[in-house]
Structure 1
Amino acid sequence: MRYSPEHKAETHARIVRKASVRLREKGAHGVGVADLMKEAGLTHGGFYAHFESREALVVESFGYAIDRAVERWRKLLDGLPPQKRLAAIVDGYLSPEHRDDVGHGCAIPALGAEIARESAKTRKAFAAKLDELIDLFAGYIVDVPAKTARRRSAAMLATLTGTLVMARVTGGGELSDEILSSGREVALAIATGSGSAAKAPARAPAKKPVKKTAAAKR
């Protein structure tokens, strides 16, 4: 039976949408292709009609998750007064609700450690989406040069994602709540420039030591 291009596109989108949730819940290697296809209401055999490899599905599902997150952040933040936007980012990201909803939460803490072990192609796709998120948050850091805003954004996002990983690892108890609270304080300080890390000037990359030649040693 032949399907229309529209039907194929809708099916493809459904697979990606379902996979983006399952991959965040179970990890990039915690769920098989057969399970992902079943989740989308399809058979295993139809997988390669939509994706050239499992890696391609992982990359597209990750991109989908980040794109949806960017849409949600824009919708939320653009409707707030400028002075409340950074606090909204930090409070929303490091909330108990976000901690407990892995499948619909940020894909970076859910999949980042696994993506770091994937191919260069996959890591490049991941980095591009990460770069978009850094730029998005940098746009809400005002009254500083663009480079400073981007540095603060990158440091803030690193703090947010690291805090969320630790909070999830420790469960939903008192220690987890303490980690969220501490992370919120530090992330907001970085974003607003009130933390020492945010105020420190950028350091030049460390130079590689020059190997001495035999003549230089003598």
Structure 2
Amino acid sequence: MRYSKEHKQETHARIVRKASVRLREKGAHGIGVADLMKEAGLTHGGFYAHFDSREALVIEAFNYAMDRSMEHWRKTIEETPPDKRLAIIVDSYLTTLHRDDPGRGCAVPTLGPEIAREGPKTRKAFATKLEQMIEMIADQIPDVPRKAARRQAASALATMMGTLVLSRIAGNGEFSEEILSAGREAVLGRPAAGKTVAKKPRAKPH
């Protein structure tokens, strides 16, 4: 059966979306191609009609997740005064909601260590998106020279991601909460403005 170009594009996008969640939940090597295709409601045999290799799928799924995170940040800060935007990003990132839903959260804490051991093509794609995230955070640091803003943004992002990793290792008790609070204070010089406990059952992408 021949499918239209639009159908193939929709199927391709569905595979990428499903893979982006499962890879963040299980890791880059925690789930095979057959399982990823099954998640998308397709057979293993159809994989190469959409991707040249498993690496190609991992790169697309990672890019999709990172783009979703940055889009979420844009929507979060769009009506916020410039001098409060960094705080909004940090407070929305270092939450119990984000900690407890890695499949719909930031891809860097979940996939970063594995991507660092991948081939040059995958690492380059990862680094490109990482730099875009740093640039976006730097945009939210007003009245600071660009080079200094980038350095501050890189430091903030590294602290946020490291904090999230440690909070997940610590579980979901007081120790984990302490780590989240310490991370927010390290970046912003204060704890979160409000509770970090989720009111909704599912996390938005970060």
Amino acid at match of 2:110: A
- Equivalent position of 1:108 in the other structure: 108
Larger RCO (CA under 8 A, 6+ residues apart): 2
| Letter in structure 2 aligned against 1:16 | V
The structure with more radius of gyration: 1
Shift of 1:78: 1.7
Does residue 141 (structure 1) correspond to residue 141 (structure 2)? The answer is yes
Match of 2:179 in 1: 179
Q: Which residue of 1 aligns with 2:127?
A: 127
Q: Which residue number corresponds to residue 154 of structure 2?
A: 154
Give 1:80's aligned residue.
Answer: 80
Displacement of 1:189 in angstroms is 3.9
1:142 alignment partner, SS class? coil
**Which 4+ stretches in 1 moved above 4 angstroms?**
none
Letter of the 2:155 counterpart: A
Counterpart in the other structure of 1:65: 65
* Deviation at residue 188 of structure 1 after TM alignment: 1.6
Q: Which residue of 2 aligns with 1:32?
A: 32
CA offset at residue 70 of structure 1? 0.9
Deviation per CA, 1:150-202: give whole Å up to 9, x if none. 10000000000000000001111111100000000001249xxxxxxxxxxxx
| Contact 2:83-2:142 at 8 Å conserved across structures | no
Cα distance in 2, alignment partners of residues 79 and 100 from structure 1 = 27
Aligned partners of 2:16 and 2:61 also within 8 Å: yes
- Find the residue that maps to 2:69 and give its secondary structure: helix
- Counterpart of 2:145, as a letter, is P
- Stretches of structure 1 that go unaligned for 5 or more consecutive residues are 191-218
Identity percentage of aligned residues: 69
Equivalent position of 1:214 in the other structure: none
**Matched positions, count:** 190
SS of 2:140's equivalent?
A: coil
SS at match of 1:19: helix
Partner Cα separation in structure 2 for residue 145 and residue 84 of structure 1: 18
How high is the TM-score relative to the length of structure 2? 0.90
Amino acid paired to 2:97: E
Q: TM-score, normalised by structure 1?
A: 0.86
Match of 2:199 in 1: none
Tell me how far 1:90 sits from its aligned partner.
1.0
Which runs of no fewer than 5 residues in structure 2 stay unpaired? Answer: 191-206
CA-to-aligned-CA distance 1:29-87 (integer Å, 9 cap, x gap): 00011110011010000000000111110011000000111111111112112232111
Q: What is residue 203 of structure 2 aligned with on the other side?
A: none
